């Protein structure tokens, strides 16, 4: 049976990665966290002082070093882990500082072009579950299964707060809510590949759903697509 491509898009902190990881594990597909790739570029930019005090990106400098930014995702203890130039940065890229700077980085055309090309190479043979902002609209517009996930900003902020607390990282709910709302606006209003629901994507509002309910919903739709291809 030919393996399909699953594209999961949606707003920040709405559980896309959890859903995508669980599905990939259950059906034996490869999982790619595209949001982590943009976060890794953001971390690099922060570490190399490529932001001005007002948060503006030094695009000329970033473009010059972009070819030297190597991002890799590997399984470590059964979990997809992001490496930046050979260093495990999975924890670092989840900080609120990175969250506060990632949307401007993700809106830069040459950054998106470089990462989209890499993502398309990863999924050219199918058998992949990829989540992000533009997977079903730009990276894989012909994906056999597309899902657009959302939830209220307040619910997403609480989830992000709880996640950071569990990891022992500093967290302030008001700051996180503000960040979620700002990212929603920037992601949906950027000029290149703005966040939007693909015309043929299934909509999932998981504000009141458990992780298990989401898992069952997604596997049901996955099996329905696979059944059509049998």
Residues in the chain: 230
- Going by the DSSP 8-state scheme, the letter that residue 92 receives in this structure is G
CA–CA gap between residue 48 and residue 26 (Å, rounded): 39
Partners of 129 in the β-ladder:
6, 31
Number of domains in the chain: 1
User: In this predicted structure, what is the pLDDT of residue 72?
Assistant: 86
* Secondary structure element (H or E) that encloses residue 153, with its range: helix 153-166
The answer to whether 168 and 30 are in contact (CB under 8 A) is: no
CB atoms within 10 A of CB 86: 8
Would the pTM count as exceeding 0.85? no
For residues 112-117, average pLDDT: 91
User: In this predicted structure, what is the pLDDT of residue 229?
Assistant: 47
CA–CA gap between residue 146 and residue 171 (Å, rounded): 32
Convert the pLDDT of each residue in 125-167 to its tens digit: 889 999 988 899 999 999 999 999 999 999 999 999 998 899 8
Task: State the Cα torsion 18-21-27-32 to the nearest 10°.
Answer: 140
Question: Residue 204 — very low, low, confident or very high, per pLDDT cuts 50/70/90?
Answer: very high
CATH code: domain of residue 116: 3.40.50.300
User: In this predicted structure, what is the pLDDT of residue 1?
Assistant: 67
pLDDT at 120 over 50: yes
For residue 130, the enclosing domain spans: 5-229
Convert the pLDDT of each residue in 96-111 to its tens digit: 899 999 989 998 999 9
User: What is the average pLDDT value for the chain, to the nearest integer?
Assistant: 92
| CA separation, residue 61 to residues 65, 67, 147 (Å) | 7, 12, 36
For residues 16-29, average pLDDT: 91
Q: Token match 């072009």: residue?
A: 113
For residues 45-65, average pLDDT: 97
Convert the pLDDT of each residue in 164-202 to its tens digit: 899 898 889 999 999 999 989 988 988 878 899 999 999
CA–CA gap between residue 91 and residue 147 (Å, rounded): 27
CA–CA gap between residue 169 and residue 89 (Å, rounded): 15
For residues 51-57, average pLDDT: 94
């Amino acid at each position: 049976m030919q393996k399909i491509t699953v594209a999961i898009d949606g707003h920040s902190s709405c559980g896309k990665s959890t859903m995508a990881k669980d599905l990939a594990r259950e059906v034996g597909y490869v999982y790619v966290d595209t949001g982590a790739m943009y976060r890794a570029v953001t971390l690099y930019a922060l570490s190399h002082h490529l932001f001005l005090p007002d948060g503006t990106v030094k695009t000329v400098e970033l473009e010059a070093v972009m070819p030297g930014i190597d991002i890799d995702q590997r399984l470590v203890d059964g979990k997809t882990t992001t490496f930046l130039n050979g260093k495990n940065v999975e924890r670092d890229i989840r900080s609120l500082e990175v969250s506060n700077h990632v949307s401007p980085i993700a809106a830069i055309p040459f950054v998106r072009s470089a990462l989209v090309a890499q993502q398309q190479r990863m999924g050219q043979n199918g058998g992949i579950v990829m989540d992000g902002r533009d997977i079903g609209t730009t990276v894989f517009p012909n994906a056999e299964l597309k899902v657009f996930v959302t939830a209220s900003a307040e619910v997403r902020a609480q989830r992000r707060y709880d996640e950071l607390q569990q990891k022992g990282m500093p967290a302030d709910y008001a700051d996180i809510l503000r960040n979620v709302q700002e990212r929603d606006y920037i992601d949906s209003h950027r000029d290149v590949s703005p966040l939007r629901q693909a015309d043929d994507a299934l909509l999932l509002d998981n504000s009141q759903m458990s992780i298990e309910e989401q898992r069952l919903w997604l596997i049901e739709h996955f099996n329905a697509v696979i059944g059509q291809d049998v």
